[in-house]
Structure 1
Amino acid sequence: MIRVLVVEDDFMVADINRQATEQVEGFAVVKLALNGRTALDELALGKVDLVILDVYLPDMHGIELLKEARRLEYPVDFILITAAQDTRTVEQSIRYGIVDYIIKPFDFTRYYTALVEYRDRRQSLRSGDAVDQVRIDSMLVRSPAHQADSRLPKGISLLTLQKIQACLVESAGEVLSSDIAEKLTVSRVTARRYLEYLAETGGLRKEVRYQKVGRPLVYYSRL
């Protein structure tokens, strides 16, 4: 389980970030810190793997917190979620080794993707196997969306696929194509096409249940 510290001065926003984080498999929020000092005290305990950090804190700038964590050599990663869009903040964040930078207000799909990529990269690094250049490139370089789209079959777009995957995470159980269609405001045919694609590629479990009357129902669930 990846232990997460959410650092955000607005408690309601911090709790929203907590809920969004814990909807992704493999993550658990261990604490909400409303200021930088509390965050540094928590990091000193050595029980945090990932920090979700805002830049605008009441007692210090988020970059100062990031810099201090690096000075103290805490073995922790950072994802920034902030309204800060100035190039200086972005440049400093990258220099101090953040793994992602998400601008508020953010879309859950974007955040979900960031966490999944982080989780997969972390698992790959902890496998103990030697890595070749291809694996290193896959960890360090995020492919542009249009490149990812080009690898998908006709009729499947990356954006819609990510939205459906996020919807499946939120559902946390079995769903019908009609459930997804209603939630995302798409046709049942479209929802079924994407669910079938995920089932065929090993991303979902599919179960057909026959009724006494009418058509059989097809249920999908995450593996």
Structure 2
Amino acid sequence: MAASCLIRVFSAKFLRKPVAFSRKVLYSIAHTHTFDCPSKTYDEWEGPFLEKTPKFYIVEAAALPEIFLKVAEAKRMLETGETDKVNEATKAVGISRSAFYKYRDSIAPFQNLMAGRIITFQLMLKNKSGVLSSLLSIFAACGANILTINQAIPTGGRAMVTVSAETGELKCSLEELLRRIEGTSGVVKAEMVAG
């Protein structure tokens, strides 16, 4: 019997619900029958019992159901001190408390999600003097701490630049920072990649 297998005990009533875990051997108990199954290690087990890593998507607010936007607004009211009670916040935005509690951990504004993280910006710049300097001034004005700058050799009058910045001390939202970058003379294209 392999020592690196998983012990998983199932109750007879809830055959598919895990009751106990260990890194020894996989056992299934169903109606007082025990079956040895040392064929899979803990890391190889891909059954429906292990928690899935949550997936995150960046979605434009207009595409979200109204309930998510109202939950986000209620959270904002609570975080900013506009109100200090969940009941008041939910009444103000027109949702039930149960809806708020159901979705409150599932939605956050993009800038809050990325706060304190390293964000990578991929930029296509015109090969003109002062364009990169202007961009760095925008990052500084917004409070972004630039960690790395990589620039490819310009071809066809354009150069790809990758800027990684720490966003913990931002004075504006990430959306506003990206808007300012895109509005800079000499910037052909700007994309933000969460890091």
Query: Structure 1 length normalisation: TM-score?
Result: 0.22
Q: Which has the larger radius of gyration?
A: 2
Which structure has the higher relative contact order (CA within 8 Å, separation 6+)? 2
Question: Normalized per residue, which structure has more helix?
Answer: 1
Query: Structure 2 length normalisation: TM-score?
Result: 0.24
